[in-house]
Amino acid sequence: MFPNHATTVNENIKKHNKNVDKNIPSAELIDFLYDNDLPESVDVSLASVSARDSVWDKHRLDTLIIQEMYAIECEFERYSERMTDCSGWLKFGFNEVNGLVLKQAFFCRVRYCGMCQWRRSLLWKALMYKTYDEIMQTHPTHRFVFLTLTLKNPPIGDLRETLQHMNKSWKRLINRKEFMAAVKGWVRTTEVTRPKDPKDKNKKYKRVCPTTGNTHAHPHFHVILMVDPSYFGRNYIKRDKWQELWADCLRVDYMPQVDIRTVKPRKKGAGDDDGMRGAIAETLKYAVKPDDIMHDNEDPKAREWFYELTRQTHKLRFVATGGLLKNALKPDDDITNEDMIDTGNDDEITETDDRRLNFSFYKSKGGYLYNPIHNE
């Protein structure tokens, strides 16, 4: 037993956390937490036990804000109710290589839940990394390119019709002879953002457009293309040609913005795997960024944009695959709670001891705290 004050407990946490990698807890710290009755008045945060797992707090706080937005509109109360219990508690096992490993949790799987978007993205990335490793064993000479396809921003009320039109246009594109000659597989995801301010010079984090940010949407495709070696020779497609092909398939009288780039290492001296991981991360990020959802959420007009987004995208699939990469990813509605728990990260050893340490989310504390009452 320990004196009833935080200083003694925190000193013991530091004393027992002797792991060389300070991002994960040591076996001594886990033993200390599991074997001792800590004072109820002392808060032990998940972040203080495992710095690597501090990310859980951010995603759960995103979920809280989005859940409260849904709660305001009676049409979406069912989503709010499901999100209330989402990841409210997390039970971790432990191994000395990876530290805490999630073993039990409940995820609501509401499309725009901040926590579930994060877990879904992790799962898709892990599946794609595995597919990439396998495909390079059988097709070592093939390369990858990263393609982004856009069109004029539609009013948010026309988003569903626009996305359906984009899907039909994509089907026309993949049947064009130029595409079929070089592309042997593809993974395509849909992202929707609020229109950004064209006057903002920040290339990475542009602010939302003050005139169309609450009235229009910016839907676009991110695509990883697996190409035959001939793509960089006789079958090469320049950016202007991609733009022309996409405009023709969209059947529009303007030239839409298109970006095409070869997947290359992000760091000097790194292998091709480094560049591919960057392309996968960009392609399989959130369908709608939480920042876009929560933008100016006290403003009824900004909230209405999100409500209309929810209506317009109901039951639409945001991932598609084809060719040699067909079935590389699980569709949104096929993902289970178990998939959300074990996202399939090959870098992690999922075997742990039999103990389960419970951390519960406390809104008033803004994060997860150790709650040993529910340990196993």
How many other CB atoms are there within 10 angstroms of residue 209's CB atom? 19
Residue 117 located in a structural domain: no
Are 323 and 346 contained in the same domain? Answer: no
Are 24 and 57 contained in the same domain? Answer: yes
Residue 128 located in a structural domain: no
Are 304 and 183 contained in the same domain? Answer: yes
Are 317 and 250 contained in the same domain? Answer: yes
Residue 68 located in a structural domain: yes
Are 181 and 303 contained in the same domain? Answer: yes
Rounded to whole angstroms, the Cα distance separating 291 from 261 reads 27
Are 47 and 172 contained in the same domain? Answer: no
Residue 275 located in a structural domain: yes
pLDDT score for 6 = 52
End-to-end CA distance of the chain: 20
Are 40 and 165 contained in the same domain? Answer: no
CA dist 58 → 32, 61, 110, 177, 199 (Å): 26, 5, 17, 46, 30
Are 307 and 361 contained in the same domain? Answer: no
- The structure tokens 């529009």 sit at 252
Are 223 and 285 contained in the same domain? Answer: yes
pLDDT score for 3 = 47
**What are the backbone angles phi and psi of residue 28, rounded to the nearest 5°?**
-65, -40
Residue 134 located in a structural domain: no
Residue 135 located in a structural domain: no
235: domain range? 141-334
DSSP string, 233-266: TTT---HHHHHHHHHHHHT-SS---EEEEE---S
Rounded to whole angstroms, the Cα distance separating 50 from 250 reads 49
Residue 29 located in a structural domain: yes
Rounded to whole angstroms, the Cα distance separating 173 from 186 reads 12
pLDDT score for 1 = 43
Amino acid at 344: G
Rounded to whole angstroms, the Cα distance separating 298 from 130 reads 42
**What are the backbone angles phi and psi of residue 300, rounded to the nearest 5°?**
-55, -35
Are 55 and 167 contained in the same domain? Answer: no
Rounded to whole angstroms, the Cα distance separating 297 from 148 reads 29
Residues near 272 by beta carbon (within 8 Å), at least 6 away in sequence: 263, 264, 265
User: How many separate domains does the chain show?
Assistant: 2
Are 151 and 282 contained in the same domain? Answer: yes
Rounded to whole angstroms, the Cα distance separating 162 from 367 reads 39
Q: What is the pLDDT along the chain (376 residues), one digit of tens a residue?
A: 444 445 556 666 666 566 556 688 888 888 988 888 877 778 899 999 999 999 999 999 999 999 999 999 999 999 999 999 999 999 999 988 889 999 999 999 999 999 999 999 999 998 998 899 899 999 999 999 999 999 999 999 999 999 999 999 999 999 999 999 999 999 999 999 999 988 887 766 678 999 999 999 999 999 999 999 999 999 999 999 999 999 999 999 999 999 999 987 666 555 667 788 888 888 888 889 999 999 888 999 999 999 999 999 999 999 999 999 998 888 888 899 999 999 876 556 678 889 999 999 999 999 999 999 899 8
Are 280 and 181 contained in the same domain? Answer: yes
pTM of the model: 0.90
Residue 100 located in a structural domain: yes
Q: How far is CA 45 from the centre of its chain?
A: 24
